[in-house]
C-alpha cells in the first residue's frame, strides 16, 4: 500500500508505528504534488491517506487501524478485556484530539522549532509551488502558526496551561511505564500507538519539547524507541487484565481536559455555532473553532461505552468518577455529527478534520 503522509506528521507517525509493528509493507509518499487526484478519490488531503493495492482509499488513522486489525487480527493491539479496551481507546482519543494543541504550539510558537520545521516542510511538501524557497518558508510558518496555534486558542493567557498539559502527559506516562514496558501490558496496545502521534514526530523530535522529554521523562523517551522498534511475534499479546491503579492520574487528566473539550465543542456544534469557549482546569479558552469531526469522536466513544457489558460499564464509571465523564454515558447525545452514517470508514470520503464543518 502507499501511505500519503509527511515524515514530521503527527498522524503519519502514529500509523507508521502501527504498520511497522504489524509487519505491513508500505511506501511513504507526500500527497501535495498529486493533490487534485487524491482529493477526487479520497475526499480531502487529510494525512495520512492510504491508497491500497485493491484500488480503495482509506483515511483517518483510527478507522484505518481498526480496519487493518480486521485484516491482520493477530496479534491484536486491542486488549481482550472490554474495560481495558475501552480505556485504551479513550487514551487514544485523548492523544489524537487533546494533545494536538500542545504539539502544534511547541512546533510553531518557539523560534528554533519553527525555523527547523519550516525548512523540513518546505523541502518535503512545497517543492511543487513555483515560489522562491524563502517565500515558501514564510508562507508555511504563517499558515501553521495562525491556523493551528493562534486560532486554536493558544495565547498569553492559555500558553502556560497548554504546556502544563504536555508535562502532565509525560508525568502520567512515566508512572504507567514504571510498571511495564508499554502502557497497558508487555506488548503495545492502541493506547501506545495513539500516543505515538504527539510523542513521536512532535514532542520527541521537535527541539524544545524533545529536550523537555529527555530531561523530565526519560522513560517516555525510551518508550518511543521501544514502540518504534516493536515487531509483532507469533505469540499471544500480553495486556493487563484490569486497568492498573497507576493509570488513575492520566484518566483524571483526560476527564478534566479532553472530555470538557468534547462536551463544549459538541454543544456549540448542536447550536450551529462556528466558535466556542471552554474553561479547562480553571483556564479560559476563547474563540475556538468548532469541529464536526470531534462530535463524531464523542459519538464513537459513546457507542463503544454502550457496547460494553453491564459489569464493564460499572467498572468504567468507577475508573472515571468525574462529572466531566458523564457525557460518555448520559442518555441523550449533546449533538449529532451526521458524519459517516453509512459506517463506511475508513473507506468513506474524508472531511477537513480541522475545519468546523458547521451546517449552514
The angle, 0 to 180 degrees and rounded to 10, between the axes of the packed helices 82-97 and 190-198 is 10
pLDDT of residue 129: 81
pLDDT of residue 149: 97
- Cβ-based neighbour number of residue 333 at 10 Å: 14
pLDDT of residue 355: 57
Interatomic CA distance for residues 26 and 4, integer angstroms: 10
pTM score of the predicted model? 0.95
pLDDT of residue 38: 85
pLDDT tens profile 44-79 = 778 899 999 999 999 999 999 999 999 999 999 999
* Low-confidence residues of the chain: pLDDT under 70: 234, 353-360
pLDDT of residue 358: 40
Amino acid at each position: 500500500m502507499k501511505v500519503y503522509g509527511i515524515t514530521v506528521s503527527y498522524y503519519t507517525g502514529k500509523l507508521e508505528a502501527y504498520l511497522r509493528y504489524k509487519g505491513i509493507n508500505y511506501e511513504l509518499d507526500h500527497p501535495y504534488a498529486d493533490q487534485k487526484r487524491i482529493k477526487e478519490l479520497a475526499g480531502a488531503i487529510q494525512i495520512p491517506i492510504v491508497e491500497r493495492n485493491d484500488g480503495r482509499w482509506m483515511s483517518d488513522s483510527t478507522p484505518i487501524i481498526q480496519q487493518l486489525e480486521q485484516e491482520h487480527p493477530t496479534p491484536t493491539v486491542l486488549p481482550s478485556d472490554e474495560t481495558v479496551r475501552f480505556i485504551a481507546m479513550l487514551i487514544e482519543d485523548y492523544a489524537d484530539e487533546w494533545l494536538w494543541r500542545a504539539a502544534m504550539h511547541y512546533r510553531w510558537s518557539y523560534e528554533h522549532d519553527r525555523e527547523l520545521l519550516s525548512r523540513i516542510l518546505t523541502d518535503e511538501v512545497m517543492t511543487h509551488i513555483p515560489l522562491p524557497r524563502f517565500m515558501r518558508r514564510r508562507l508555511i510558518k504563517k499558515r501553521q502558526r495562525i491556523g493551528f496555534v493562534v486560532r486554536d486558542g493558544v495565547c498569553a493567557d492559555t500558553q502556560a496551561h497548554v504546556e502544563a498539559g504536555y508535562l502532565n502527559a509525560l508525568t502520567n506516562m512515566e508512572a504507567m511505564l514504571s510498571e511495564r514496558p508499554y502502557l497497558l501490558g508487555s506488548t503495545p496496545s492502541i493506547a501506545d500507538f495513539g500516543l505515538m502521534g504527539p510523542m513521536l514526530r512532535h514532542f520527541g523530535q521537535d527541539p524544545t519539547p524533545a529536550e523537555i522529554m529527555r530531561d523530565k521523562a526519560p522513560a517516555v523517551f525510551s518508550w518511543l524507541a521501544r514502540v518504534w522498534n516493536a515487531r509483532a511475534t507469533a505469540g499471544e499479546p500480553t495486556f493487563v487484565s484490569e486497568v492498573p491503579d497507576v493509570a488513575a492520574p492520566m484518566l483524571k487528566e483526560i476527564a478534566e481536559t479532553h472530555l470538557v473539550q468534547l462536551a463544549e465543542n459538541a454543544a456549540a456544534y448542536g447550536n450551529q455555532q462556528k466558535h466556542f469557549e471552554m474553561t479547562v482546569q480553571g483556564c479560559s479558552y476563547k474563540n475556538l473553532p468548532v469541529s464536526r469531526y470531534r462530535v463524531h469522536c464523542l459519538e464513537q466513544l459513546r457507542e463503544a461505552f454502550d457496547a460494553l457489558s453491564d459489569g464493564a460499564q460499572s467498572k468504567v464509571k468507577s475508573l472515571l468518577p468525574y462529572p466531566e465523564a458523564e457525557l460518555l454515558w448520559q442518555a441523550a447525545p449533546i449533538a449529532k455529527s451526521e458524519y459517516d452514517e453509512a459506517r463506511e470508514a475508513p473507506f468513506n470520503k474524508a472531511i477537513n478534520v480541522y475545519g468546523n464543518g458547521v451546517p449552514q
